[in-house]
Amino acid sequence: MAVIQREISISFPELLKVEKKEQKHILPDLEDVKGKVVMRLAPSPSGPLHLGHTRMAILNDEYVKRYGGSLILRIEDTNPSNIDPEAYRMIPEDLEMLGVKVHNIVIQSSRLEIYYNEARKLISGSHMYVCRCDKEVEKKYKLEMKACPHRDQTAEENLDLFQKMINGELASGAASVMLKTSLNHPNPSLRDWIAFRIPPAEHPLVGRKYSLFPTMNFSVAVDDHLLGLTHVIRGMDQLNNTYRQKFIFDYNNWKTPFYFHYGMISYPGALLKTSLMKRGIKKGDFSGWDDVRLLTVRALLKRGYRNETFRKYWIDSGLRDVDATFSWEIFNSINKGFIDSGAKRIFFVKDPVKITIKDAPDIASSIPFHPSDPKMGSRNYLVKKGSDIYVTTEDWNSIPSGENVRLKDLCNVTKTGNSAKYSIDQEPMKRGKIIHWAPEDSSEFSVEKPDGTIDKGVIEPEGTKVAGEVQMERYGYVNSFPKKGMGYYTHR
RNA sequence: GCUCCGAUAGUGUAGUCCGGCCAAGCAUACCGGCCUUUCAAGCCGGCGACUCGGGUCCAAAUCCCGGUCGGAGCACCA
């Protein structure tokens, strides 16, 4: 059989081609699509977007692009204690850099009157009541499946108290608005949940004008309806919230959007808590939101990840309800696929050691910028007789004295003690070690790595003219900023 | 503890709804080879998986029950 195949491939190579079908991952169709879709991204403005957010952003964007319709960025800022005013600016920036097309931006703190009105309707319909119990007492009632004394207040009493809350006549914690569900619901977190409360902190956008804020479950339900959401895809962690929000849809006879909850992704060892990143920045552990040790979108892009990489990674991962682990291995490999063909090859000599090549003539060296793309040209050097070159300490120390080694695209040398001797034999070495080098007039260069360390060394002169994503040969891919004499390590 | 999800190779996934074409596809990693003056890319080949136990059925990764393991949530965060 093998013989026959070989014969076929010689005479009819195209016959064998058919067998291999490249399988590309495609997101499953959304259920219940009638015409265009309306979907949303709903981050809270506690900081810029990070790796964990990119999934929801890209998945929603993909579906809106597939079916047509609109993608709403809804900034969920109903908890004044957890807001970074800068986030209102950073989040749209991040989305744009990711290639996510947002059609409409909605800020919840500008819609408080809308929530109040919807609340009045539900209070009038006896679906909500103002509770003045202490937090702990209230909790106890629920665990015991009992009604608190305020649950039976009349709608008029509740409306009156609600207005007092709006007017700022009640202090934080003095009262809250509860949505009636079912006191004996088996899932305790679905029993009468909080719809409004008076937070202790002042809201950075609306300031003193408002002191009563809905909880996310209330504002999300109202907005999902009012904004005409057709499909909501979000993490499994939101499942209980979906059940909670369902009560509001039911009381109002609203049609619910189509929900899908995807499995949770775990990011082993990753710092993805915005609050912790923020604390680190404040303390000075990180230089800012784009510190390369952080996994924010801006830091990752600065390191040299392409926005296409995020997209392909999340599409490949699919939309499933299973939990999964984020794989840097795959993520980096995808990114390499995007950057390699355009990345010029550059010699970066880390921890350089200067050596003289004894007995060498003037040597002209021409090195292609890309081994498989001659159109990218080459860099040319003349290493004059008697001048020095740099190689990495690691390479140099790994070569035993007396050993021949190839300086890539320059010449063969023999290590003799602490110096190198121009080899008699300059034929291409098939088996030997090939190392990279940099000429004497190279510049200092350093590479910042995501683990916080910095590799210092020298970069070949032509390397100082190439900005952006390059491949430092035998080192790794680097997003280079030669004017600053440094770059950020992307990955191997 | 309670409520709710889930379980395919080292990793990420396809297939599971509507049982047979799945002695399980793809990617990545790894191993071997080709190419190559990079330990890159590319090409070829290889390794490697249906959580366990029972049931239904001519037939189960796919349906049912149970165990185990893992995950999410648990009430004024979103």
pLDDT digits (tens, 9 = 90+) for A437-448: 999 999 999 999
Chain centroid, CA A58 distance in Å: 10
Residue A23 has pLDDT above 80, yes or no: no
Instruction: List the strands of the sheet with A104-107, edge to edge.
Output: A37-41, A69-75, A104-107
The Cα–Cα gap between A449 and A46 comes to: 26
How confident is the model at residue A136, as a pLDDT? Answer: 84
| Confidence label for A428 from pLDDT (cuts 50, 70 and 90) | confident
Query: Is A86 or A20 the better-scoring residue by pLDDT?
Result: A86
Residues of chain A with pLDDT > 70: what percent? 94
Residue A80 near residue A201 (C-beta atoms within 8 A):
yes
Residue A24's pLDDT band, with cuts at 50, 70 and 90, is low
The whole-number average pLDDT for the span A349-357 is 96
A340: the nucleotide nearest its CA (via C1') is B41
Percent of chain A with pLDDT over 90: 75
3 state SS for chain A: CHHHHHHHHHHCHHHHHCCCCCCCCCCCCCCCCCCCEEEEECCCCCCCCEHHHHHHHHHHHHHHHHHCEEEEEEECCCCHHHCCCCHHHHHHHHHHHCCCCCCEEEEHHHHHHHHHHHHHHHHHCCCEEEECCCHHHHHHHHHCCCCCHHHHCCHHHHHHHHHHHHCCCCCCCCCEEEECCCCCCCCHHHCCEEEEECCCCCECCCECCCCCEECHHHHHHHHHHHCCCCEEEEEHHHHHHHHHHHHHHHHCCCCCCEEEEECCEECCCCCCCHHHHHHHHHHCCCCCCCCCCCCEHHHHHHHCCCHHHHHHHHHHHCCCCCCEECCHHHHHHHHHHHHHHHCEEECEEECEEEEEEECCCCEEEEEECCCCCHHHCEEEEEECCCCEEEEEHHHHHHCCCCCEEEECCCEEEEEECCEEEECCCCCCCCCCEEECCEECCCEEEEEECCCCCEEEEEECHHHHHCCEEEEECCCEEEEEEHHHCEEEEEEC
The reply to whether A274 Cβ lies less than 7 angstroms from strand B is no
Confidence of residue A27 (pLDDT cuts 50, 70, 90): confident
CA A53 to chain centre: 6
Q: How confident is the model at residue A240 (pLDDT cuts 50, 70, 90)?
A: confident
pLDDT value at A12 more than 60: no
Residues 106-165 of A with CB under 7 A from strand B: 131, 133-135, 138-139, 142-143
What integer pLDDT is reported at residue A237 of this predicted model?
Answer: 85
Q: Among A20-24, A52-56, A118-122, A230-234, which stretch is predicted with the lowest mean pLDDT?
A: A20-24
Average pLDDT (A304-312) is: 96
- Positions on chain B within 7 A of a protein C-beta: 1-8, 10-15, 25-29, 36-42, 44, 70-78
Residue A13 has a pLDDT of 32
Strand B at less than 7 A from CB of A239: yes
Instruction: Point out the nucleotide closest to A26 (alpha carbon to C1′).
Output: B14
The β-bridge relationship of strands A486-491 and A419-422 is unpaired
| Rg, C-alpha atoms of chain A | 31
CB-CB contact of A277 with A47 (8 Å): yes
The reply to whether A182 Cβ lies less than 7 angstroms from strand B is: no
Average pLDDT of the residues of chain A: 90
What was the pLDDT predicted at A167?
A: 94
Considering only A132-136, A160-164, A213-217, A446-450, which range has the smallest mean pLDDT? A132-136
pLDDT value of residue A304:
97
